[in-house]
Structure 1
Amino acid sequence: MHIPFTPNHIQLISACYPPSAALLTSGPEYAPNSQELSRLTYYAANRPEKINKLGTELEKRVKTDTKKAAAGNTRARAALLITLAIFKALATECRRDMSLLSPSLLSSINITLSSLSADLELAARAATVFTTWTTYTDGLIIGVDLKVTDDYMSCLRHFARLGHLEHDDHETRNRTRLIGLAALASAVNSEALYKPSAQFQPQVSIIMRALLIPLLQVDVSVLNHELAEIKEQPNSPILDEFRSRPTLERRAASIHAHIDGDQGPTSGDVANTALRATSSLLGHTRGLQASLVLQAALDTLDERDGWALTEHCRWLAEKAAEWTQYQYRYGIPTRLVECLAEIQDAPEPTQRHATLTAMITAVFTSPTPLVNLSTSDIIASLISITLRRITVSPEDSLLPALVECISSLGTHVYYADQIQDLAEDLIRRLVIVEASGIPGAGKDNRQKARTQAVRCLLAGLLGLIHAADMHDAGKDADENGDTKTVGTSPTLPPPIIERTSHDGLQGQGHMRPSRRTKVAPEIWQDTLSLLCDAEYAVRADYAMALVAYVENEIPKFADKVDPDGVRRPRPLAEGPSQRTNTVNAMLYGDSTTRFLNALHACAYTLSTSPRLGLRNSPPPSPERTSPANGDDSSARAGDATGDSVTTERRSMNHSSRTRRMSLVLRMLQDAPERLSSSAHVAAELSDFGNVLAILQAVHEQLPVRSLLTGIPMLVALSKATRAEEAYDSSTAAAVRTIKELVAKTWLVVAKVWECPAVGELAEKSLSALPGASPLPNLPDWQFGSLQPPQHPTPLPSDLPLTEPLPDIDTDAILEALSSAPNVQEATGLGQQDLLRRLGAEWSPDKAYKESIETKSRLDSLSGDGLSPLIKVAPALMHADNISMQSLARSGRGVGVTDLREALEGRSSMSNPNLAGRVPSISTLDHTSSVFPGEFAKLTPQRSRPQRVKPRPGEVREVLNKLGIGKQLGNGNVKSSFPAMQKTQPRNPPTFTPPYTT
């Protein structure tokens, strides 16, 4: 009935409702009168100033009908459904002015859900209105209008509660969840989530709770099945046409309650909706937003105790990285590592620790590329977490998983030197732990923590390298020609190096040579002292790591053997020039040769030394340790045996590398030149087996270099076991084992170089030794995992000897080896030169010094190792010395053009080489940075400029630089380095320079 003086907008709204008596019969659609609704929407669309009044009136009706419907009034419930339908129509037609309708619309939805959320039909109608609003809103009102923001956040909470509602009836539960998830999916695709940046995190925290719980309640196989369907049908029936068009052209989805009698939705349908919303959410996030989404998911796992579902968490972490935009994926693993670091101090590892570690490994081992990932920061964090867990407990159960994390980082290689850089980070920390232990470890667990830390870092280092090779091999085509894109499996590749004897190798650790940069010997060389560590578990693990490095990683260049283990000449690849370059590199020392020198020095020390491990120097004098000017900084380094810790003031004059070298040299000097009859050897029987495996790998993989660096060590080891009288029973077993080690190494050399005479002499020596148990083989090694600590096999204590052990005929072996044609052809040396080289005097400290010294100064001055730019002309040198600082910044030399410009009087500014010479510090005036105390220190001097110096750009200057002008001396060619002839030190040293010997 028409009431006089009723406002027009109220009349238009009232006309949309059926008569009161017909409200109950208007179902099941409960739709407003279509003709009157058209008049209402036309009125609102053409008079935007009336939208606020229309919304306020509808909100009043919602409040009234909600109270009545909650009390059981069915007519009020029907009217409420019609009111919500009117709201949807107005939102659709007034999309241009959505901000005017938003306050009353969101308030009405909030009021409805607060009182009648259990009514699925009302919840579905409210979700439809909410979806319409999220479709057309620009989101700018959120965060600005506090009332609207509160209503919006309250609506999200209501729908989130529906999205993970628990109910005894599975059909009712799935229907309710679909309604809530559909509404949240519309919010995920709305600008209301992304435009107000300050409100993003609160919204995501609410949304992820609802999206994640349904995913955790189904099996991973169901998730994979639904994900495959999503890929086949990317358009959702709920989100169809959603966000794919401009705002004014979009079509809002309509959400309906399930019809009674139809087959109810399954848990898979619910998971499908949640997966679509989650993937869409991560797909639209940028930068920090991806980390916030992941953090919200982790908070949900905390609230729901979801960490026990390890497989689900791994799957979600992997898919989160896949769904995130390409340039922002790095935020997923970075945030996971940060979360793991936040709980690294827990006294006991929890399920959260284990699951987080598994999630990190899953992300790294997945084929999803992670560009912009800071691998250096990630590995530094993982190393710190590992060491912290070892500090808490050396037997922490989380350590194997952390080792897998570090190893899996090698799956993603984005630049050639990445693995080398990561390996250098690991080795740097490994060296620190070896010398100083772990700060913060308890006194009782100090040595145990140090041992476990070294083993974990070693296992991670090898796993990292192996994972990188598997990743690189996965890029190549398989046998059928299909391209594969793989990282490694989630548990890292299973290939195992299986060793059955010292003569053969079963299994294949790497699929093919990788295209990445190999870890340089200079980097790995710092770890060689671990071969002589005081703990056998460390020595055993390092022996396996060293064999793997020599076999698979160390650069071999042309120094290779055939698959059968024999070194045969390759005429096409190894001409005279190549052989000369190889021999020169080995004689004067390249990185691989220096590495082998240090390796053989450590192998000799392990075989003969009475005590092992790095030992700190005695405490300095009080005046050096007393604080000066309030500076009480000190360095604490643990003794290798774990008995004491010495605190000493770090010297400011020597680098940490120099201090480490001195410790290693001190350890090598304990190795005797000859074992006495009652000498004690600290090595176990297993150590000698490990040394044999190392020497075998070295001679098989680097035959030429090992020949020139390792044979002198074998000769010295043979001399060390020669005695005129019988050894004591405690020493006889060690001496007999050393002789067996030397003989079996000669057998390897004989096989590599096809020298039967050497093999016969070695076999004769072996047969003459008294019987004993054979040398143990290296155990199996699985990359990327922390194996249980190895236990030593002790030397036999009951070896009766009544006479000296027979010695191997070293002179005959050297004679036979030096006369072998393969050896002479490979080295380019004659028999006498080979005899002199192979039989040279050798000691471990001397070999180690050769491994760290650079080439002689004379070789450097002759041009080897210098840039070709320096060899072009003396004109490229600014000052009268050979310092690299004097190299001209311009790569252009002085030529005819410069002479023409000088004759024409042009400025010399065009050629920087014509500028005046700048005095610089000569490098010949300083001591060696490696052995500062070994040579006398020369007084630093500045090179003196010439007394008669023409101005830059003059003709005479150009002629002098071209070598045409007046020359000094007797007319010979002017030296390229006049500073060497002019400058003489005031107090010349009395030593003999190394380049004159």
Structure 2
Amino acid sequence: MHIPFTPNHVLLVSACYPPAAALLTAGPEYSPNSQELSRLTYYAANRPGKIGKLGAELEKRVRADCRKAVAGNTRARASLLITLAIVKAIATECRRDMAVISPALLASVNIALSTLSSDLEIAARAATVFTAWTTYTDGLIIGVDLKVTEDYMSCLKHFARLGHLDHKDRETRNRTRLVGLAALVGVVNSEALYHSTTYFQRQVSVIMQALLVPCLQVDVSVLDHELADIKEQPNSPILDEFRSRPTLERRAASIHIHIDGDQGPTSGEVANTALRATSSLLGHTNGNQASAVVKASIETLDESQGWEQVEHCRWLAEKAAEWTQYQYRYGIPTRLVECLAEGQDAPRPTSRQSTLAAMITTVFTSPTPLVNLSTSDIIASLISITLRRVTVSPDDSLLPALVECISSLGTHVYYADQIHDLAGELISRLLIVETSGVPGAGKASREHARTQAVRCLLAGLLGLIHAADLHDAGKDADDDKKLSTSPTLPPSSEQRTSHDSHIRPSRRTKVTPEVWQDTLSLICDREYAVRADYGRALVEYIENEIPKFSDTSDADGVRRPRPLADGPTQQSNTMKTMLYGDSTTRFLNALHAYLYVLATSSKLGLHGDSSTSSSSPERTSPANGDDSQGGDATSHESPPNDRRSANFPSRSRRTSLIARMLREAPSRIPLSTRVGADFSDFGNILAVMVAVHEQLPVRALLTGIPMLIALENASRVSGSPDASTAPVLRSIKELVARIWIVLGKVWQAPAVTELAQQALSALPTAAPLPSLPDWQFGTLQPPQQPVPFPADLQINSPLPDIDSEALLDALTACQSVQEATGLGQSDLLRRLNGHEWSADSAYKDSMETKTRFDSLSGDGLSPLIKVAPALMHAENLSMQSLARSGRAVGVTDLREALEGRSSMSNPNLAAGGRVPSISTLDHTSSVYPDQQYGLSKLVPTRSRPQQQQLRVKPRPGEVREVLNKLGIGRQNGNGNGAALKSSFPAIQKTTSRNAPAFTPPYTAS
């Protein structure tokens, strides 16, 4: 009935409804009159000023219909459905003025869901209206209009509740969840979610609960199946890429409930919708927003007790990193590590912590690249968490998972020095723990905590390196596949293959011996569990990580000559570095010093109270009596949380402790003192020395033979040994004999092998030396227990000595040894004689040669720097420009002086000259000096003038002037031309007996 003076917009709205008597028969569509609805939308689109009034009228009708529908009025319910359809139609047609209709629209949806939340049909119609708004809004009104923002957040909560609603009837539950998730799909694809940074976290916290719960309630196999379906049939571009489309071209999705009578939706379909929404959400986020999503997900797992479902959590973490944009993926593992650190002080590990650690490992080991990931910060956090858990309990069950997290970082290698840097971080913390223990550990468990912390860091270090090798191997396999299938890339001899004849250089920088050398003291740790773990790690490092250059053996452990690779020049360069010290030689000197200490010393460890044996219940008193600095950690009376300066000792103090331990190593084992090593320690020493001689045969020959002879001399005693010393002496002799057998095999010296076999067979029969324990990379193994010396070994007569002189004569007479070292037998005998060798002198060689002979080791420093003061007469000349030069002194200058030169006189030798430009390409690598893998280093180049000058004849006396300025030859007695003394000692070389006497090529006047 027409009421006079009724506003036009009210008349237009009323005309859209069917007669009151026909409301009950308007179903199931419950749609307004199409013709009248067109008039209404045309009116609203052409009169934007009336949209506010239309919205107010529709909101009033929604309130009235909801109030009546709650009371059971079916006509009011039908009218409410029609009203919501009118609201959607106006929102769709008036999308340009969405901000005007937004208050009434969101209020209407909120009222409908608040009063009739159990009516699924009304919820579906409200979701359709809400999706239309999320499609066309620009999100600017969120956070500005508080009433609209409040209604919007209330709508989110209602749809999120529908998205994870539990119901006894499975079909009803799945239908309800689909309605709620369909509305949330519109939210995650809306500007309303991403525009306001203040409300993003609040919205995501509401949304993630509805998105994760359906995924946690199905099997992982179902998730894999639905994810494959999503990849095959991705979302519609209108929903998935709507943000790239203009607002006027977008289309809002229509949401309806499932048709009665058809087969109801399955849980897989619900999970499919949740996965689509989650992938779309993460695909639109930046770094901070992705971190907020992870935080909201963790809160959801806390509320739903989802941490028990480890496989689901790992699957979701991996997919979250995959779905996030390429440049923002680093936010996923970073936030997970932060959440793990939040509960590091818990007295007992929770399922939340263990699941978080498993999620972190899964993300790192997944093939998804994680660019911009700060690996140094990540590993520092993981190390801190590990040490903190050790402090809480040395036997904490979370420690193996943390070791796996640290190891998994090696899977992602993005720059050459990454693994080297991470290993350096681990080793630096390892050294602090080795010397000072774990700060904050209780007095009763302080030593146990130190041991467990060292084992955890060591296992993480080895796992990190191994994971990086697997990462390189995986990339190499992919590259080989691409090369083999690519028609445009012909086979080339320079392609990296996996065959033995072609060594494949790693994409990463190896952990250098200088870095690893600091850990060698762990082989003499006072706890056998640490010694056993480090022995395994040391063998792996020597076999797979240490730079070998041209000092390598074949796969069968035999070193054979390589005429193409070991030419005279290469052999000369190699022997120069081996004889006078490079990083690997220094490493082996220190290693043999520590091995000697382990085999002969009665006290192990850097502290003075080291036990005589890890298996012995008695402990000796401190050697120096200085409990405040170097004593036993368990003897301190300070409280557990006392943080003393001694917890972080200086490097010089640690070096002095090591030097003291090495100086106390006996040259002859006393009969009355039991050594600190166990029977299994000698098996570990054997494994390490075998690896050294097989992997680094030349360097091991020059550095290990003197130690081997000194070790055999230390086992020589007069008379019959007592019951406590006899097993030790026999183990040492068996160890020495077995190493000589390995030397005979490596150098193909049958005479050495025969003599060593005779010496071994002459020893009393006993159990063989134990082998190294098995190792599983990236995991924390149970602590190894020492194997005691055989108790049934009875030795009543003196042990036979090994004839080291005969073995040494047979080895030095071997042609392969002489060819590999470039030395004659007399030179080898003089160098390999171990009568003057000691652990202290070997350790000093590992330290002193680093400063004395770096210029000869290929570390990039030039010998020219030594004579630079005599060459630089001009002012303001840079020593660094000379230090980069790698050419020999005097060779080029003398040749130019004798034959004439193509330019002016050498400016280095002329007063007032200008220093030439030296190319820095000749600056050799500190990791791979000289030649490696058959690749020659770049030749030093000198800048040349643009116009080549003609060669001129040398002027009279120029040759003599060049030689005199270099300090070569006889000088005048007036003192003006004093001979230039080299700052490093001359290389001593034995002259052959038949070599002619040296005659100077000239005589200085």
TM-score by length of 1: 0.84
Match of 1:752 in 2: 746
1:560, CA displacement in angstroms? 1.0
Q: Does 1:615 align with 2:610?
A: no
Change (3 A) 1:694 1:914: closer
1:765 and 1:191 map into 2 onto residues whose CA distance is 84
Matches within 5 A, 1:716-755: 716-755=710-749
Moved more, 724-733 or 708-717: 724-733
Report deviation, 1:803: 2.5
Match of 2:965 among 970, 974, 978: 974
In 2: Cα distance, 1:871 partner to 1:366 partner: 52
Indicate the residue corresponding to 2:559 in structure 1: 567
Which stretch of the first structure deviates more once superposed, 339-348 or 655-664? 655-664
Residue identity opposite 1:697 in structure 2 = A
Which position in structure 2 is the counterpart of 1:710? 704
Q: Which amino acid aligns with 1:846?
A: S
* Whole-angstrom distance in 2 between the partners of 1:239 and 1:15: 33
Structure 1 counterpart of 2:777, from 783, 793, 797: 783
Where does residue 582 of structure 1 map in the other structure?
574
Shift of 1:283: 0.3
- SS of 2:724's equivalent in the other structure is helix
Give the direction of change, closer, same or farther, for the CA distance of 1:685–1:864 in structure 2 (3 Å limit): closer
Aligned length: 887
Shift of residue 479, structure 1, vs aligned partner: 12
Letter in 2 for 1:739: K
Taking the aligned partners of 2:711 and 2:375, their CA distance within structure 1 comes to 44
Alignment of 1:304-343 (within 5 A): 304-343=304-343
C-alpha distance 833-127 of structure 1, shift in aligned 2 (>3 A): same
Among 492, 495, 510, the alignment partner of 1:518 is: 510
Contact in 1 for aligned 2:865/2:879 (Cα 8 Å): no
Cα distance change of structure 1 residues 650 and 258 upon mapping to structure 2, 3 Å threshold? closer
Q: In structure 1, list runs of 5 or more residues that go unmatched.
A: 485-507, 619-633, 903-907, 916-962, 985-991
Q: Does 1:832 align with 2:831?
A: no
Residue type of the partner of 1:801? I
CA contact (8 A) 1:615 1:640 kept: yes
* Residues 440 and 643, structure 2, Cα contact 8 Å, conserved in 1: no
- Which whole-Å CA distance do the structure 1 matches of 2:595 and 2:10 have between them? 98
What does residue range 14-29 of structure 1 map to in structure 2 within 5 Å? 14-29=14-29
State the SS of the aligned residue for 2:518. helix
After TM superposition, give the deviation of residue 866 of structure 1 in Å. Answer: 2.3
Question: 1:64 maps to which residue?
Answer: 64
1:964 Cα offset (Å): 11
1:476 to partner: Cα distance? 2.5
Which is further off, 609-618 or 706-715?
609-618
In 2, Cα distance between equivalents of 1:658 and 1:817: 40
**How big is the alpha-carbon RMSD for the aligned residues of Structure 1 and Structure 2?**
3.6
Partner of 1:557: 549
Aligned to 1:844: 839
Partner of 1:169: 169
Residues 240/689 of structure 1: CA separation in 2 closer, same or farther (3 Å cut): closer
Residues 289/649 of structure 1: CA separation in 2 closer, same or farther (3 Å cut)? closer
What is residue 97 of structure 1 aligned with on the other side? Answer: 97
Question: Residue in 2 aligned with 1:411?
Answer: 411
After TM superposition, the structure 1 = structure 2 runs for residues 496-511 of structure 1, keeping only pairs within 5 Å, are: none
Aligned to 2:595: 603
Shift of 1:802: 2.9
CA distance in 2, matches of 1:528, 1:731: 26
Check the 8 A contact 1:561/1:568 in 2, yes or no.
yes
Displacement of 1:801:
2.8
Q: Which residue of 2 aligns with 1:495?
A: none
Q: Paired residue for 1:685, among 679, 686, 691?
A: 679
CA shift at 1:326, angstroms? 0.2
Q: Which amino acid aligns with 2:65?
A: D
CA contact (8 A) 2:870 2:965 kept: no
Alignment of 1:520-919 (within 5 A): 520-615=512-607, 639=631, 642-644=634-636, 656-840=650-834, 841-855=836-850, 857=852, 860=855, 865-867=860-862
User: Scaled by the length of structure 2, what TM-score is found?
Assistant: 0.83
Give the AA of the match of 2:824: G
- 2-side partners of 1:868 and 1:729: how far apart? 56
Moved more, 236-245 or 792-801: 236-245
User: Counterparts in 2 of 1:92-171, with a 5 A limit?
Assistant: 92-171=92-171
Secondary structure class of the residue paired with 1:558 = coil
Change (3 A) 1:18 1:524: same
Provide the rounded CA distance (Å) in 2 between the counterparts of 1:914 and 1:23: 99
Separation in 2 of the partners of 1:705 and 1:863?
15
| Separation (CA, whole Å) in 2 of partners of 1:271 and 1:970 | 89
The residue correspondences of 1:351-390 to structure 2 (distance < 5 A) are: 351-390=351-390
* Rounded Cα–Cα distance in structure 1 between residues aligned with 2:181 and 2:853: 78
On the 8 A contact 2:740/2:752 being kept in 1, the answer is yes
Partner of 2:440: 440
Given the superposition, is the C-alpha separation of residues 819 and 245 from structure 1 closer, same or farther in structure 2, using an over 3 Å criterion? same
Query: Match for residue 500 of structure 1?
Result: none
Partner of 2:928: none
Note closer, same or farther for the CA distance 1:897–1:873 as it changes in structure 2 (3 Å cut): farther
CA pair 116-879 structure 1, distance change in 2 beyond 3 A: farther
* Contact map agreement 1:447 1:641 (CA 8 A) in 2: yes
Q: CA deviation at 1:724?
A: 2.1
Aligned partners of 2:340 and 2:353 also within 8 Å: yes
When residues 69 and 705 of structure 1 are mapped into structure 2, their CA distance, relative to the original with a 3 A threshold, is: same
Structure 2 counterparts to residues 452-491 of structure 1, below 5 A: 452-477=452-477, 481=481
Aligned mates of 1:480, 1:864 — CA distance in 2: 33
For the 8 Å contact 1:750–1:759, the answer to whether it is kept is: yes
**What is the CA distance between 1:515 and its match in structure 2?**
2.5
- 1:922 alignment partner in structure 2: none
Q: Provide the rounded CA distance (Å) in 2 between the counterparts of 1:648 and 1:399.
A: 23
Amino acid at match of 2:437: G
SS in 2 for 1:476: helix
Aligned to 2:349: 349
Q: Secondary structure at the match of 1:187?
A: helix
Cα distance, 1:972 vs. partner? 5.9
Q: Which amino acid aligns with 2:788?
A: P
What's the secondary structure of 1:557's corresponding residue?
A: coil
CA offsets 1:587-644 (integer angstroms, 9 cap, x no match): 11000000000110011000000110002699xxxxxxxxxxxxxxx99867467445
SS in 1 for 2:214: helix
- Spell out the pairing of 1:974-993 with structure 2 (5 A cutoff): 974=965
Larger deviation: 38-47 or 881-890?
881-890
TM-superposed CA distance for 1:569, in Å, is: 0.7
Q: CA distance change for structure 1 residues 638 and 343 in 2, over 3 Å: closer, same or farther? A: farther
C-alpha separation in 1, matches of 2:965 and 2:408: 59
* 8 A Cα contact 1:406 1:460, kept in partner: yes
Equivalent residue letter for 2:761: S
Q: Distance in 1 between matches of 2:462 and 2:793?
A: 38
Q: Deviations over 1:301-352 (max 9, x none)?
A: 0001100000000000000000000000000000000000010000000100
1:675 is displaced (CA, Å) by 1.4
Q: 1:805 Cα deviation (Å)? A: 0.9
Structure 1 counterpart SS, 2:519? helix
CA distance in 2, matches of 1:975, 1:10: 108
| Aligned-pair CA distance for 1:965 | 15
Q: Within 5 A, what are the aligned runs for 1:42-57?
A: 42-57=42-57
Q: How far, CA to CA, are the matches of 1:94 and 1:897 in structure 2?
A: 86
Find the aligned partners of 2:628 and 2:81 in 1 and give their Cα distance.
Answer: 76
* Structure-2 change in CA distance of 1:325 and 1:555 (3 Å): same
Give the Å deviation of 1:662. Answer: 1.2
Q: Distance in 1 between matches of 2:243 and 2:855?
A: 68
Matches of 1:72 and 1:534 in 2, distance apart? Answer: 83
Q: CA deviation at 1:767?
A: 1.2
